[in-house]
Amino acid sequence: MRSMTGFGKAKKSNERFELSVEIRSVNNRFLDLSIRLPKELSVFENKIREKIKADVKRGKLSVFVSLNEAASTGSEILLSQDKVKHRFEMLKKVRESLNIKEPVSLNHLLNFSDLFEFNIESVDEEEITALLYPSLEEALQQFNDMREAEGAHLIEDMKMRIKNIYELSAFVEKKGKLNVSGEFDKLLTRVKNLIDEQKIDKERLEQEIAIMADRVDITEECVRMNSHIKLFNKTIENNDEAGKKLTFILQEMLRESNTMNSKTSDIEISHRVIRIKEDIEKLREQAQNLE
């Protein structure tokens, strides 16, 4: 199982070019893929997208591809006239806004490396393919290795927390059964004290109080909680893309714990349920980081 957070980078070169691929990602409900590459390599975008989508299911991914001339190459360098004019006008506005007396010079413009481009119009597609795909494969492998390592760490922590929830839930279920009879006795005593010696139908009174006591019975919620815990454990053991499913299971677990808390008046049960809810919230945060 993989985390959605990862990073990978690889670089390949030949006598003419140096090509690098960088992949990074953060959490996202769906797959949101952004690819930035030189305009000369735009023909490869669809193939890059297909390759990544086949291996990544969720997350906000940013892929950066750069192509540079090898140091030993004597290729023709092109100057982007439009970029030069744009940077010059930008520097003039900065100079005026800050009231700088020094005029804009060539040295200032030379700080912008993107003004110069080498001519790769004659680059053979096979030559770029030989650099691009191995770089992409290596970067993607690093990216996935990091995600798997982070995912394994998350799973270990999640197993510990779900075990803690199971133990707390077992206490709540056992204590809850005793609490029902206790609530019945307390209600019966309270009602008898209120009505004192007045004539009452004892059998009817006990029926009504039994109904009221039954409203604090959390047995059903405990049974469902245990069922959710079993499904949670089964999911993290057998499902490689479990993030969404685990999030749904945890939502149901939180629903059961909220109902338990609203039905009980026992302090010990209430404290355990609060701890259960705390662990569920932590698990929800972790599940949202899983693919």
Burial 12-29 (b: 16+ CB within 10 A, else e): beeebbbbbbbbbbebee
In total, the chain counts a number of residues equal to: 291
94 versus 139: which is more confidently predicted? 139
Assess whether pLDDT exceeds 80 at residue 77: no
Distance of CA 38 to the CA centre of its chain: 30
| pLDDT confidence of residue 92 | 84
Q: Give residue for tokens 């969404």.
A: 244
At 206, which amino acid appears? E
| pLDDT tens digits along 133-176 | 999 999 999 999 999 999 999 999 999 999 999 999 999 888 87
Yes or no: say if 257 and 280 are a contact pair by the CB < 8 Å rule: yes
Cα gap 17→70, rounded to integer Å: 5
The domain made up of 151-287 has a fold known as: Butyryl-CoA Dehydrogenase, subunit A; domain 3 (1.20.140)
Q: Of 72-76, 79-83, 219-223, which gets the smallest average pLDDT? A: 72-76
Assess whether pLDDT exceeds 70 at residue 291: yes
Yes or no: say if 34 and 61 are a contact pair by the CB < 8 Å rule: yes
Yes or no: say if 149 and 253 are a contact pair by the CB < 8 Å rule: no
| pLDDT tens digits along 161-215 | 999 999 999 998 888 776 655 655 666 566 666 566 555 666 665 665 555 555 6
Cα gap 53→57, rounded to integer Å: 7
Percent with pLDDT over 70 in the chain: 78
Sketch the domain layout of the chain as residue ranges.
77-118, 151-287
Structure tokens at 53: 């989508």
Q: Where are the alpha helices (DSSP H) in the chain?
A: 45-53, 81-97, 106-109, 125-195, 202-214, 219-238, 243-263, 267-287
Percent with pLDDT over 90 in the chain: 45
| pLDDT confidence of residue 200 | 60
| pLDDT tens digits along 65-76 | 998 876 555 555
Distances (CA, A) of 282 to 15, 46, 165, 253: 52, 38, 12, 13
Assess whether pLDDT exceeds 80 at residue 124: no
- 111-127: average pLDDT: 66
* Cβ-based neighbour number of residue 152 at 10 Å: 12
Instruction: Tell which phi-psi region holds residue 196, choosing left (phi > 0), alpha (psi between -120 and 50) or beta.
Output: left
| pLDDT confidence of residue 113 | 63
Yes or no: say if 173 and 244 are a contact pair by the CB < 8 Å rule: no
21 versus 219: which is more confidently predicted? 21
| pLDDT confidence of residue 237 | 85
| pLDDT confidence of residue 193 | 63
CB-count burial class (<10 Å; 0-12, 13-18, 19+) for 76:
exposed
With CA atoms as reference, report the closest residue to 213 among 189, 246, 179.
Answer: 179
- Which residues are within 8 A (CB) of 261 and not within 5 positions of it... i.e. 6 or more apart? 270, 273, 274, 277
| pLDDT tens digits along 226-260 | 999 999 999 998 766 788 899 999 999 999 999 98
- Which three-class secondary structure string do you get for 117-149? EECCCCCCHHHHHHHHHHHHHHHHHHHHHHHHH
